[in-house]
Each structure stands twice: as C-alpha cells, then as structure tokens.
Amino acid sequence: MLFLFVCRFNMAPIDEKDVGLKTDLITINPSQIKGYRNLQKRPGPLMQRVNIYGNASLIMPAFASPQNTRLSVSALKALWPPRPQLRVIFFSSSYLKTLDHFWKGHGLRGNRLSTGFMLINVALELCDHVHIYGFWPFDIDLQQRPLPHHYFDNKGPKKGVHSMPEEFLHLLQLHSQGVLTMHLKPCL
C-alpha cells in the first residue's frame, strides 16, 4: 500500500489551488519564531499561523544552536498548553551532530545544514520513495528568469550559515543515483 506523507518547510503557506493542503509535517525555523514577539503572553498569532496545517506535526532544529534551543522551547511553551494534542518534535542533538559529521565528511562545508536538507535526510531514512519539490538554491531558474528564495517570500538564509548550492549538488547526486527524485520543472 502506498502512503503519501507530505512535509513542508518554513511554515510555507498552503492553498488548495497552487500547492495543496495536505501537510503531515511542517518545519518551523527558529529564525521565523523571532518574528512572534512575547510568545508567552501572546501565543495567538503563532497559534493562528500553525492552525492552517490542521493535525500536522511541527518539527524544529532546536538543538542546532543555543539560540535555536531558546526560541524552540519558547514556541513549544506557547503552543502546547492551548493545543495539547499538537505534536511538536525537536531534532535530537546527537542526530544533528551525526548528520553534520556525515555530510562534512562528504565535503559539505556550510556552518549548519539547512532545515530542508535535515528533513530530506530524515525522509531518506524513513521512506521508500522520496520526491522533493522546490529545493532550488539559485536566484534564477533554468530559463534564466529571476526566482524568489521561497515560493511565498524572498527571505534567504543569512550569508555564510548554510551552503545551499552544495546541499543542492549532493541532492542532485542522490537523484542521479536513484536514491530520491528531484522535481526541478515548475509545477502545473
């Protein structure tokens, strides 16, 4: 039996017409949590934002850095009391270290792996077939047209934090080996 599990990244907006509504797992980057001020007293805006994903689980790289830990725990405290059924997942610190060590051993030089790259690795460990859409780290498409960083905004990572082009090359290599399927053409 084929089971479709949809992961989305960086609290991406969803809609029925363009990207679909199904969401089983959504990443929240701790840098996005910064935009929600005073979470303990005002959890409403963040709660409203994650409610669009229904019963999807939320995953955060809480232990990638001390600042991420502080922000992720703050988000957990804000989200969990009002919705105790909500599953908030933190990547294990030992998993993140092992993953970082593995990829650095294979030539990846970024300071930290991107959340997207982390979750693609998790999917490769858990799923028989992995298809990735929209993982394109360049500011132009294959026809040399300008592109935003995400389909929903143009906020890229801080310079020097991630090595998105290198991550892309590793994913492209996995694609060429048949380990995963990269979809690079525009979705219709």
Q: How many CB atoms lie within 10 A of CB 99?
A: 18
Helix (H) / strand (E) containing 81: none
Report the half-sphere exposure of 142 (CA within 13 A, side-chain side). Answer: 6
8 Å CB contact between 120 and 103? no
- In the DSSP assignment, the letter for residue 187 is P
Q: Which of 101, 149, 162, 175 is catalytic?
A: 162
Distance separating alpha carbons of residues 150 and 178, to the nearest angstrom: 26
106 part of the active site? no
Distance separating alpha carbons of residues 60 and 158, to the nearest angstrom: 18
In angstroms, how far is the first alpha carbon of the chain from the final one? 27
Residues identified as active-site: 162
